[in-house]
Structure 1
Amino acid sequence: MANKLLSEMGLPNSIANIFVARNLITAKDVFSLTEFELMELLDVDLAVVTSAMAHISEITCPPYQTALSLLEQRGQNENMAGHLPTSLKGLDNALCGGLPFGVVTELVGPAGIGKTQFCLKLSLLASLPSSYGGLDGSVVYIDTESKFSSRRMIEIGFHSFPEVFQTEGMAQEMAGRILVLRPTSLSEFTDSLQKIKVSLFQHGVKLLIIDSMAALLSGEGAQGPQRQHSLGWHISFINSCRIFTNSCSSDQSSEISKS
């Protein structure tokens, strides 16, 4: 709005012509000067300057918003974007429908609490046919600790969605929609991310899971700010992916995620 042209603001011709003559073209040009500097430059009195600045401010400045209106607007945007239901009623209620699309969701907790199991369940939910409440899409699962188990995933599927997995060939079809990558170092992880971005568009990927981010750095010896710097590019990449897919990362513990 600062670059909005003064000629489009409906100023009185008497002052608008003076602005043009003094090469003040945009709102930014005006507000980069003080009232007294404008008085001297335009050769007009203070009342004319303050009136013109008030008029320009009213047009260029966005209307104020309350914290409540911003919260309501965010909720509306998330509802329009959609959610991936987790099939856990309490969690879905707390998240207003499930994991919101277009954001990065981080799972944090101590070892053994079930983060990987939850990621396996999410993989199934994203690949389920839409007629059964799924996203009917593909999943990229980056498994940095070799914890991904196709057998366990199928077991979860038979237990949670028996009507789907008892259909002949459905288990194989669902498993075929989940692409598993197993980088063993941060450099391999970087290569994996660079290679999959095109695939995210081409193959209808609806969910990107990284299990886990912390494991990649634990073997690199990075600590504190150095650790955060090491992941800078990767975090930026994941944020860019959230435009068209869910991103879900799993950390080993709350201590690791805080560092």
Structure 2
Amino acid sequence: MANKLISQMGLPPAIANIFAARNISTAKDALSMTELDLMALLDVDLGQVKSAVSRISEIVCPPYQTALSLTEDRIRSERSGGHLPTLLKGLDDALCGGIPFGSLTEVVGPAGIGKTQFCLKLALLAALPVSYGGLDGRIVYVDTESKFSSQRLMEIGRSSFPQIFQSDRVLKEMGGRIVVLRPSSLSEFTERSVAELSRTPVIVTNQVRGQTNSEALHYPFEGQRSGAVKSPESFESHLVAALGIQWAHAVTVRLVFEAHS
């Protein structure tokens, strides 16, 4: 909503033209400035600025929701939603059917643990006919690390579903349902909006990094849990998701991959 164009908000033509002339084209541009700054930039009186800002705020501000309406929306979403089965019984049971639609699922683990292979398998499952446990759908595979391998995808198909992948024609048909994108910037795609608006299961992989108790002391809660650290020798390291806590708040489901000897 912040990127909604001011020209589409029904402001009086005179003030709308001034906004356009000063290169203030979106709600974000206007609301990021103080009223006094807008007065100076637009060269209009305070009353006109207040009226314009009020109108812009009214349009872009989302409507209020009560706790009851949020609960009802969630129940309706869960009932009308669906899942992409992983065909891993334990995981599907834990996820109540598989990767949920309309939400963001994160796969976390160290390099080489199998995150890419898991995503390739899910892409294949989504393309399979419903009769074989798939969604009979089309897939957008966003590959930011250039790790997508069509050869590996076909190998997984032949190994997991030999009864389907018996001919080159079927291989080409399944492969043709998967569109691979390699964006060069974050602005080229928005996982969250795709998940929410299109009722699409979205899977994101995340690397891990090492963290010591000394790093945890920067955060009060972690510091209280770790206790006093008296010497460098007492530092203990553990693995945490690389993208940090702010990213974690955007994730609905986090799957952590670990290897145990």
**Which residue is equivalent to 2:258?**
none
Cα deviation for residue 89 of structure 1 reads 0.6
**Which residue is equivalent to 1:241?**
194
**Which residue is equivalent to 2:175?**
175
1:16-35 aligned within 5 A? none
Match of 2:187 among 187, 190, 200: 190
Match of 1:258 among 239, 244, 253: 244
Q: CA-to-partner distance for each residue in 1:164-202, whole Å, 9 max, x for gaps?
A: 11145111100011111223x32xx523x2xxxxxxxxx
Change (3 A) 1:136 1:74: same
Matched letter for residue 203 of structure 2 = C
The structure 1 segments of at least 4 consecutive aligned residues displaced by more than 6 Å after TM superposition are: 62-65
Question: Would you say the 8 A contact 2:115–2:205 is kept in 1?
Answer: yes
1:1-259 aligned within 5 A? 77-167=77-167, 169-183=169-183, 185-186=184-185, 189-191=186-188, 193=189, 237-242=190-195, 243-244=197-198, 245-253=200-208, 254-258=240-244
Cα distance in 1, alignment partners of residues 173 and 153 from structure 2: 13
Q: CA-to-partner distance for each residue in 1:30-75, whole Å, 9 max, x for gaps?
A: xxxxxxxxxxxxxxxxxxxxxxxxxxxxxxxx7979xxxx6x9957
Question: Would you say the 8 A contact 2:206–2:241 is kept in 1?
Answer: no
Q: Which runs of 5+ in 2 are unaligned?
A: 1-65, 209-239, 246-261
Cα distance in 2, alignment partners of residues 170 and 79 from structure 1: 34
**SS state at 1:141 partner:** strand
Q: CA-to-partner distance for each residue in 1:127-146, whole Å, 9 max, x for gaps?
A: 11122121111111111111
Q: Which runs of 5+ in 1 are unaligned?
A: 1-61, 194-236
Q: Please report the TM-score for the alignment, with normalisation by the length of structure 2.
A: 0.51
Cα distance in 1, alignment partners of residues 97 and 75 from structure 2: 11
Q: Please report the TM-score for the alignment, with normalisation by the length of structure 1.
A: 0.51
Give the % identical residues.
56
Cα distance in 1, alignment partners of residues 139 and 170 from structure 2: 16
Matched letter for residue 243 of structure 2 = S
**SS state at 1:140 partner:** strand
Larger helix proportion of the pair: 1
Question: Would you say the 8 A contact 1:105–1:249 is kept in 2?
Answer: yes
Deviates more, 1:169-178 or 1:125-134: 125-134
Matched letter for residue 163 of structure 1 = Q
Cα deviation for residue 78 of structure 1 reads 2.5
